[in-house]
């Protein structure tokens, strides 16, 4: 486990909780600016040796490689999405999801041309995951990119958090950041204005039995917290809460309620919601007990474009444990996951 670099940083990492109400976002902005200053301090010890390749062993993540995906510009990311769309076999795209691949990629490409961030939250389409005839609502460009990561490739042999899952989660953030942030944007102000998701979550799970067993990930973000996005954000949340109820993960009596006190967000707000819904649809084929997950705040961890990227393994203080709403969803009688596997105790 990496030690925190400064005690000040430790404080920064602990202040913002999973269920951050909008009225504490001013505090978050100060933290983000402070964090960006901290990121400027080089620390070679935080760079692990070798990262595995992503997307069915086709894409370098390791920054030592010339064609590392972490170095891709927007045009290269778009070209890559097109390559996967054109040759889903090579990237081991989930069979059922292939029917939705073209429309998802085309939507990402078209909406990434927008210069105003609001359309990023109005990119609603439906897509299949692994079950025929079961369409999921993907409401934002961040959902679309998360779906792409969740259906493309399975985890390579030997993958662990340090050499694969955490870097892949960071790559997810880099992709949507480069696809959505206007090139002329003043970076710190753009982040501080909550134009970007404030939390991402990855769930890792084993699926299938014996020789057919594979390890997959589902990854998604929450909806950016900007004040002007309030209507869109609530619409997304409400639709996701309805999906949780329809799929039997949430009891109807808890509609518009929260288990996160005080000032908790309602069900459907968390980045965990879509990964949990995806996995619920295939739960009988999943080893629920061993599933594990982590959540982090991209604003606090990722350095900015133009600076050297560090694939540092997060410290326990950087990882957010599942909130009480999520603990309920993943618990006994629902997903049947092990709660400790969704906390910082894995670090």
Residues that bind Zn ion (CB under 5 A): 18, 270, 323, 325-326
Contact present, 295 and 269 (Cβ < 8 Å): no
Least Å from the CB of residue 18 to Zn ion:
5
Q: Closer CB to Zn ion, residue 127 or residue 323?
A: 323
- Integer CA distances (angstroms), 112 to 181, 269, 302, in order: 9, 23, 20
- Show the 3-state SS of the chain: CCCCCCHHHHHHHHHCCCCCCHHHHHHHHHHHHHHHHHHCCCCHHHCCCCCCCECCCCECCCCCCCCCHHHCCHHHHHHHHHHHHHCCCCCCECCCCHHHHHHHHHHHHHHCCCCCCHHHHCCCEEEECCCCCCEEEECCHHHHHHHHHHHECCCCCCCCHHHHHHHHHHHHHHHHHHHHCCCCCCHHHHHHCCCCCCCEEEEEEEECCHHHCEEEEEEEECCCCCHHHHHHHHHHHHHHHHHHHHCCCCCHHHCCCCCCCCCCCCCCCCCCHHHHHHHHCCHHHECHHHCEEEEECHHHHCCCCCCCCCCCCCCHHHCECCCHHHHHHHCCCCCCCCHHHHCHHHC
- Comparing CB distances to Zn ion, the nearer of 56 and 343 is 343
CB of 160 to Zn ion, least distance (A): 24
Smallest distance, Zn ion to C-beta of residue 71, A: 32
CA atoms within 13 A on the CB side of 204: 20
Cα 132 from Cα 318, distance rounded (Å)? 37
Nearer to Zn ion, 275 or 314 (CB): 275
Which CB, 167 or 268, lies closer to Zn ion?
A: 268
The two three-digit tokens of residue 295, written as one number: 């959540």
| Complex with Zn ion: residue 2 or 324, whichever CB lies closer | 324
Of 154 and 324, nearer to Zn ion (C-beta) is: 324
Closest distance to Zn ion from the beta carbon of 302 (Å):
21
- In the complex, minimum distance from the CB of residue 223 to Zn ion, in angstroms, rounded to a whole number: 13
Q: How far is the CB of 312 from Zn ion (least distance, A)?
A: 24
Q: Judged by CB, which is closer to Zn ion: 9, or 18?
A: 18
- State which residue, 111 or 270, has the beta carbon closest to Zn ion: 270
Q: Which is nearer to Zn ion, 155 or 325 (CB)?
A: 325
Q: How far is the CB of 329 from Zn ion (least distance, A)?
A: 8
CB of 195 to Zn ion, least distance (A): 22
For the bound state, the minimum distance from the C-beta of residue 264 to Zn ion, rounded and expressed in Å, comes to: 9
Q: Which of 330, 278, 335, 285 is nearest to 135 (CA)?
A: 278
């Amino acid at each position: 486990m990496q030690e925190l670099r400064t005690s000040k940083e430790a404080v920064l990492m602990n202040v913002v909780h999973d269920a951050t109400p909008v009225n504490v976002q001013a505090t978050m902005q100060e933290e983000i600016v402070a964090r960006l200053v901290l990121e400027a301090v080089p620390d070679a010890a935080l760079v692990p040796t070798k990262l595995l390749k992503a997307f069915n062993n086709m894409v370098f993540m390791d920054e030592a490689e010339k064609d590392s995906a972490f170095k891709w510009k927007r045009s290269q990311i778009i070209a890559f999405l097109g390559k996967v769309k054109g040759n889903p076999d090579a990237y081991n795209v989930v069979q059922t999801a292939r029917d939705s691949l073209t429309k998802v990629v085309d939507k990402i490409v078209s909406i990434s041309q927008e210069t105003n961030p609001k359309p990023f939250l109005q990119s609603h389409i439906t897509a299949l995951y692994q079950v025929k005839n079961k369409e999921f609502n993907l409401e934002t460009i961040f959902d679309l990119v998360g779906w792409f990561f969740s259906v493309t490739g399975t985890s390579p042999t030997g993958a662990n958090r340090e050499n694969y899952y955490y870097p892949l989660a960071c790559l997810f953030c880099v992709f949507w950041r480069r696809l959505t942030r206007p090139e002329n944007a003043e970076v710190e102000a753009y982040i501080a204005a909550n134009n970007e998701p404030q939390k991402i979550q990855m769930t890792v799970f084993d699926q299938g039995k014996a020789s057919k067993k594979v390890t997959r990930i589902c990854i998604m973000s929450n909806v950016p917290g900007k004040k002007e996005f309030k209507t869109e954000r609530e619409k997304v949340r409400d639709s996701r809460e309805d999906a949780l109820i329809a799929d039997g993960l949430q009891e109807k009596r808890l509609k518009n309620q929260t288990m996160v006190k005080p000032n908790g967000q309602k069900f459907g707000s968390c980045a965990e919601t879509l990964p949990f819904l995806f996995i619920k649809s295939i739960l009988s084929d999943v080893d629920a007990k061993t599933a594990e997950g982590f959540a982090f705040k991209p604003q606090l961890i990722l350095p900015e474009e133009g600076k050297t990227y560090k694939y540092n393994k997060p410290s326990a203080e950087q990882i957010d444990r599942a909130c009480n709403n999520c603990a309920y969803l993943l618990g006994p009688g629902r997903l049947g996951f092990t709660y400790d596997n969704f906390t910082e105790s894995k670090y």
